[in-house]
Structure 1
Amino acid sequence: MSHDRCACINHQQNLAKHHFYKNIKPKNNILKKQTNEDFINNKSSHANLLYHRWLSSQPKHHYSKRTGVSYISSIHARDANSILKLGSKHMYRKVFSNFQRIFSPNLCTQQKQEKRFTRACRHVLGKAIGDDHQAILATARKHKFIFLKNQYIKFPIRHLVYKKSFIEPNPEDYPFLVPFYAKRHLNENKTWKNINTLSKHLNPPTPSKITPKPPDVTEPFNPIPNMFIPKKYRDIIPKDPIYVNNCFITPGSREWFTYMYNLEKSIDEQAEQEFNERVHREVTQAFERSHIENQERRTKEIEERKQ
């Protein structure tokens, strides 16, 4: 260890158990759990769970803090036309859609997210054969990689298939619910009876809607926090509330100082760019004037020699 220290073999276990990790909060996995304790972990139970998600239209939201990417995955069942006329055996297919980029308000984390997403795009899209738009989309669809806002990726769920194609499936051949007879009037009552029975073993979560924190409306908004502010920030503090990715930035917080640092840096870069442009423009004008004066002087000398 640093400063020539070493761990005590007699008390190291006690320190690690009661002191090192006492401020770390355990993960709350109760809200993420969709089944109760009597759920049987086998193929039939998972097929019924997938059937319930499809019939109740429950999308699943995915968000990666590492890359700042958010998208939605939903379950779609094959219709009767695809099974009877086209010969498709797959019961379901999964669809990725609603791609969004949600960056962290921290500038350092935002830069890391941007680099990771660019690296992932280069790794996947670099395998495309050709530079045209269709080849890139085909490569992304092959690797199930979503990177555009209006992009849809559809792929079949291969472990749930019908036994025969081009004929109407028999529900008695499967130990789980099949989506072929779900939305037909003759089987509607039976379908919802099965759903009510299945709901006893399921506990679908209710995703909490995250809304940006609005400023306090009971008191007038004060853009200058009641604390020490560096002199370089005092003249550039915005008078209106600051929002980053639809999230309100509280004056005086860590995100606020990050925003002010970025704002002050951009102002300095813009001022430096304007100064360089002005110097370049003045030097160019001076060079042009000197060139014109030299030409006039040479022309005058030539005329004098001719005379």
Structure 2
Amino acid sequence: MSNQLYRPEEVIQMIEQGKVLMLAGDESQLDQLPDGKWVGGTIPYFMTKDGGMFTKDYIYVNDITDKISDFEIKHYDANNIDSIVEQSYENGFSFLILPGLTDVWSRYALESPEWEDIYVNPVVGWVSGVKYEDFGKIKPKTYAGNQSFTDQAVVMHAKLPDEKVARVEIINVYEQGSGDEIYFDQKGFGNNECVIDGKHYDLYQYLKTNNIDETLPLVANYAGANINVGSIWDKDRQRADLFAPVFPETPYKVAKSRDFDYAREFKCHIAKEPSREHIVFSCNCLFNYVNFGLEGKNIADVSGPVTFGEIAYHVLNLTFVYMVIE
């Protein structure tokens, strides 16, 4: 079976059998694995069919061996990450893992929306991370086989049979609230300056003064799709550090209150997916895992890594991302 947690010795056996794998796990386990047809990234949080789980002892496996006709593994730094599109197959997908809070993560997050042909083939994946308490102390890693990186993205470009196509979707339970429209002068991660009613404000002070729940994201509406920007408040430095980029001339609003049952809302959304049985990859956000208390809570029998950011063409926050091959 694919799309579940395995013991490291079981994963080693799969690699030695020549299987094509997309992996997620703690550094202590991924470092044990031999070279092979796999890419991976560090994270110790997972969605499982038994509920959310924190573990450093298992590795999450997406086995795509029988779903693709060819593949190529690449790694990119901040200088050449823009070549990810041109190196993809004509019919397929690119599975991308970005190391969190690095130059390559930042460049992809900021610039990918403007790259030519970015939407021709699905780009799906996640941002690697570490145990929350180790954030800022231990660097997230990515892996191309047994070669690991702290400053490079890894990509598995996968080719699909002619009769198959990949499709990437998102589930976002957040909506814009009824508060002020918040703008930013520059593309970036906020720099804690924002514009409201034509006046410049310190973002952290605005959110704090207006008694905003610090767990609520900013939400922008892009042609009907709600896109979140999560933040972590650094109260010592008095900053709201954003984990996805903001863009000028785009109105953001603080999300509506999260006073709802996440599992119930999620099940309503996923039930609308007509090809649910063909989901080959999914991931959810660590913000959702923490804010909604998902440890030990089953949400519609979906599974996958719980990440420092989700990739559905672009870097997202507080969003469930999944890919279907049909």
TM-score, normalization: structure 2?
0.17
Q: Going by fraction, where is strand more abundant, 1 or 2?
A: 2
TM (normalized to structure 1)?
0.18
Tell me which structure has the larger Cα radius of gyration.
1
Higher relative contact order (CA 8 A, sep 6+): 2
